[in-house]
Amino acid sequence: MTKEEFRVQVRTWLDDHCPPACRGKGSILPDIIWGGRQFTYAHPDVERWVKALVDKGWTVPSWPAAYGGAGLSAEEVQVLHEEMSAIGTYSPLFSYGMSMLGPALLEYATEEQKRTHLPKIASGEIRWCQGYSEPGAGSDLASLQCSAVRDGDDYIVTGQKIWTSTADKSDWIFCLVRTDTHAPKHEGISFLLIDMASPGVSTRPIELISGASPFCETFFDDVRVPVENRVHEENKGWTVAKALLQHERTMLSASNRRSKVSVPGRGLLEVARDSLRTPEGSLPDDTLRAEIAQVQMDRLCYETLHQKNTEAREAGHGMGPEGSMFKLYLSELNQRTSDLRQRLNGSDSLVWNGDGIDEKEIAITREWLYGKAATILGGTSEVQLNIIAKRVLGLPD
Kindly report, residue by residue over 201-255, the tens digit of the pLDDT: 999 999 887 777 789 999 999 999 999 999 999 999 999 998 898 777 677 666 5
> Within a domain: residue 243?
no
Q: Can you give the pLDDT at residue 314?
A: 58
Residues linked to residue 190 through DSSP beta bridges, in sequence order: 177
Looking at the structure of the chain, the number of domains it has is: 3
Tell me what pLDDT residue 33 has: 96
89 burial type by CB count under 10 A (0-12 exposed, 13-18 middle, 19+ buried): buried
Q: Is residue 320 part of a domain?
A: yes
Q: How far apart are CA 65 and CA 72, in angstroms?
A: 9
pLDDT of residue 265: 43
Q: Which residue has the higher pLDDT, 391 or 178?
A: 178
Question: What CATH number has the domain bearing residue 233?
Answer: 2.40.110.10
CA–CA separation, 176 vs 241, rounded Å?
8
Angle at 289 between CA 285 and CA 290, to 5 degrees: 120
Same domain assignment for residues 18 and 80: yes
For residue 103, the model assigns a pLDDT of 93
pLDDT per position as a tens digit, 84-125: 999 999 999 999 999 999 999 999 999 999 999 999 999 999
Residues 20 and 78 in one domain: yes
Structural domain range at position 377: 262-392
HSE value, Cβ hemisphere, 13 Å, CA-based, for 10: 27
Residue 257: its pLDDT value, please?
Answer: 46
Domain-embedded: residue 341: yes
Residues 159 and 224 occupy one common structural domain = yes
Q: How far apart are CA 242 and CA 299, in angstroms?
A: 28
Q: Measured at the alpha carbon of residue 193, what is the angle toward residues 35 and 157, in degrees to the nearest 5? A: 125
Structural domain ending residue among the three candidates 94, 113, 137: 94
Higher pLDDT, 239 or 362: 239
pLDDT score of 149 more than 90: yes
Instruction: Name which residue leads in pLDDT, 193 or 139.
Output: 193
Taking residues 117-139, what's their average pLDDT? 95
Same domain as 208, residue 143: yes
Contact yes or no for 250/319 (Cβ under 8 A)? yes
Write down which residue in 238, 273, 307 finishes a domain: 238
The reply to whether 359 falls in a domain is yes
Residue type, 27: S
DSSP letter for 351, please: -
The answer to whether residues 148 and 33 belong to one domain is no
Q: What percent of the chain has pLDDT over 90?
A: 55
Task: Report yes or no: 105 and 119 within 8 Å, Cβ to Cβ.
Answer: no
Domain assignment of residue 111, yes or no = no
86 within some domain: yes
User: What is the distance, to the nearest Å, from the Cα of residue 113 to the centroid of all Cα atoms in its chain?
Assistant: 22
Contact 349, 340 (CB under 8 A): no
Which one of 76, 83, 217, 248 is the catalytic residue?
Answer: 248
- The answer to whether 47 touches 28, Cβ cutoff 8 Å, is no
Kindly state whether residue 356 falls inside one of the protein's structural domains: yes
pLDDT of residue 253: 62
Query: Is residue 336 a contact partner of residue 330, using CB atoms and an 8 Å limit?
Result: no
Average the pLDDT over 81-85 and give the result: 94
Strand partners, 296: none
Which comes out higher in pLDDT, residue 28 or 337? 28
Residue 114 lies in a domain: no
Residues 289 and 195 in one domain: no
Do both 196 and 233 map to the same domain?
yes
Query: Quick one: DSSP state of residue 388?
Result: I
CATH of the domain at 285: 1.20.140.10
Reported as a single tens digit per residue, the pLDDT across 326-358 is 888 888 998 888 888 888 877 776 777 777 777
Report the C-alpha gap between 222 and 266 in whole angstroms. 47
Contact present, 132 and 125 (Cβ < 8 Å): no
User: Does 56 lie in the same domain as 138?
Assistant: no
Per-residue CA distances from 262 to 65, 256, 303 (Å):
32, 6, 11
As beta bridge partners, residue 231 has 191
Same domain, 48 and 134: no
Same domain, 272 and 232: no
> CA-to-CA distance for 80 and 66, rounded, in angstroms?
20
Residue 248 annotated to the active site: yes
Provide the CA 230 distance to its chain's centre, in angstroms: 23
Please check whether residues 270 and 379 belong to one and the same domain.
yes
73 and 21 within one domain:
yes
Among the ranges given (24-28, 315-319, 348-352), the one the predictor scored with the smallest mean pLDDT: 315-319
